[in-house]
Structure 1
Amino acid sequence: MRPNRVRERWNAGEAAVSGWLSFGNSYTAEIVGLSGVDCVTIDLQHAMTDVSDMIVMLQAISATPATPFVRVPNAEPGIIMKALDAGSYGIICPLVNSVGDAKALVDASSYPPLGGRSFGPARGLLYGGPDYAQHADATIVRLAMIETREGLAAVDDICAVDGLDGIFVGPSDLGLNLGRGTAADPSDSDVRAAIDRCLAAAKAAGKRAGLFCPSGAVARRRAEQGFDFVVPNSDANLLKAALAAELAVIGKA
């Protein structure tokens, strides 16, 4: 089976860097996949992207060195299985607030006897190879998003769930839920403490910790702090920032 570059980075003791796709466009997916990132995450939760977009974007990413990931819109088993069958090598699941939610993620993304994923890996066989079924459970990465008060309160127990590779912190949602704003690199002490708590819980359980970041500089700092999976902002936000900078140069900002 084709290896997962995220796992390769982790096995080498390094943090994995992921691109983040908000545009439902295969050309953008190809550009980001060729940029040098370790993986590319297609966002089905908040982005302007649906399942039909996801399939052609996965096809585009498969022609690049990057490994394809998908942030699903929810923990519904059907969409998790669809993303995996379409060739995703990683699932980031939002709003995991309890051990039950984390177990449901593992169950939907694992074949029996580990879970209840049904067989039919369509593009998974094309991308992963003919031995996909034998190695999929050990190759796919499963990250549960911690972004609410409930998830934060249960983070130690969530990290202990067998089959879960780790957690992914949504700093803006976590700040919003704590009543401290939506900064992607928060300065508020309560939000910073909550992020540190998530990192410590993951490390204590021998699991991985990921984080969405507003820039490469913040992503590097978070990787140096110990985060294993960092996202240096999204394609949409990077485009807006680049346009604003260029317009400022010509006096149009």
Structure 2
Amino acid sequence: MLVNALKEKWAKGQATINGWCSIGSPFTAEIMAAQGYDSICVDVQHGALDYSAALPMFQAMRASGVVLLARAHWLDPASIMKLLDAGAMGIVCPMVNNPEEAARFVSYMRYPPLGQRSFGPTRAGFAMKGYGVQANDAVLAFAMIETAEGMKNLEEIAATPGLDGIYVGPADLTLGLTQGRLPPGFDREEDEMVAAIRRIAEVCRKNGKFAALHCGTAEYAARAIGWGYNMTTVSGDTRLLAASAAASVARFRELTETSGAEGEKGAY
């Protein structure tokens, strides 16, 4: 029987943490998948990678048992279906602005009679035992709310049959709702943005949908779980690598400058 571990955890009321891969490297993906995340999302939209890189990344992460997700480059049936065939157990679709687009997205995720997904799970059929039409019940369809139009149509989008959840991209959402008055970024603290982020979680809960939020820090992610989010993404491979490298260099500079000053003093 094909199951999605994220659905099982959420059914038990457990919050999950999602990792994010933007570097087109199987080795980087393998390292990320070994760190204890519940799921890992491969970013085909903004990541430095395409399908030819995403497929070996999925293969590299298979042994970890982590749930594989992917962000499609757009509301495009070819991209969405091909990522599912590669083994993604969930798709995050960017820039969903109205219920019509949400319904189209759902239709690309499901085999008939629930949708129009073409059958041909080339890798998924080998990598996952029992993969077939029953994937309809296992794969997750997450629509991204990122614009003023999407926020305006939030209730209708969340009511879309077959849509599993809403994934919040706070950077684009901030740009859209404030018309560029506020800069893009994660971990919003402005009252208007916190209100919008919290409202999405409330609407998801009311419509029986899962809510996910991209965060910059574990502290903010924990707050979001308290607001009703089921899944939070904390940073991503590029930012984590940069932050760790920067911290290492800064610590080295601090230690060597101090020891250098002491050595200089001792010489006199």
Query: When the two structures are superposed, what TM-score results if normalisation uses the length of structure 2?
Result: 0.91
Query: Residue 161 of structure 1 aligns to a residue in which SS?
Result: coil
Query: Residue 63 of structure 2 aligns to a residue in which SS?
Result: coil
Query: Residue 64 of structure 2 aligns to a residue in which SS?
Result: coil
Residue 183 of structure 1 corresponds to 185
Measured on the aligned residues, the alpha-carbon RMSD in Å equals 1.1
Q: How does 1:14-163 map to 2 (within 5 A)?
A: 14-129=14-129, 131-163=130-162
1:202 aligned partner, one-letter code: C
Give me the whole-angstrom Cα distance separating, in 1, the residues matched to 2:7 and 2:213: 16
Give me the whole-angstrom Cα distance separating, in 2, the residues matched to 1:19 and 1:127: 21
Contact 1:61 1:67 in 2 (8 A): no
1:74 aligned partner, one-letter code: W
Residue 212 of structure 1 corresponds to 214
Residue 172 of structure 1 corresponds to 171
Structure 1 runs (4+) deviating above 3 angstroms are none
Contact 2:2 2:135 in 1 (8 A): no
Contact 1:2 1:127 in 2 (8 A): no
2:227 aligned partner, one-letter code: Q
Structure 2 unaligned residues grouped into runs of 5+: 255-268
Give me the whole-angstrom Cα distance separating, in 1, the residues matched to 2:149 and 2:185: 20
Contact 2:45 2:71 in 1 (8 A): yes
Deviations 1:103-159 (A, max 9, x none): 111000100000000100011111221x31142011001100001000000011000
Deviations 1:82-120 (A, max 9, x none): 000011000000000000111111000100000000100
2:94 aligned partner, one-letter code: P
Contact 2:109 2:115 in 1 (8 A): yes
Give me the whole-angstrom Cα distance separating, in 2, the residues matched to 1:27 and 1:249: 27
2:125 aligned partner, one-letter code: L
Give me the whole-angstrom Cα distance separating, in 1, the residues matched to 2:5 and 2:248: 34
Residue 247 of structure 2 corresponds to 245
Deviates more, 1:7-16 or 1:40-49: 7-16
The offset of 1:7, in angstroms, is 1.1
Structure 1 unaligned residues grouped into runs of 5+: none
Give me the whole-angstrom Cα distance separating, in 2, the residues matched to 1:78 and 1:94: 15
Give me the whole-angstrom Cα distance separating, in 2, the residues matched to 1:2 and 1:157: 30
Query: When the two structures are superposed, what TM-score results if normalisation uses the length of structure 1?
Result: 0.96
Give me the whole-angstrom Cα distance separating, in 2, the residues matched to 1:98 and 1:25: 34
Matched, 1:13 2:13: yes
Contact 1:19 1:32 in 2 (8 A): yes
The offset of 1:5, in angstroms, is 1.8
Q: Which of 186, 191, 194 pairs up with 1:192?
A: 194
Give me the whole-angstrom Cα distance separating, in 1, the residues matched to 2:160 and 2:5: 23
Query: Residue 122 of structure 1 aligns to a residue in which SS?
Result: coil
The offset of 1:192, in angstroms, is 1.3
Give me the whole-angstrom Cα distance separating, in 2, the residues matched to 1:56 and 1:226: 34
2:187 aligned partner, one-letter code: D
Deviations 1:162-207 (A, max 9, x none): 1000100001111111232213011112111111111111111011
Aligned length: 251
Deviations 1:29-81 (A, max 9, x none): 11111111111100001110111000000111112120110000101000000
1:140 aligned partner, one-letter code: V
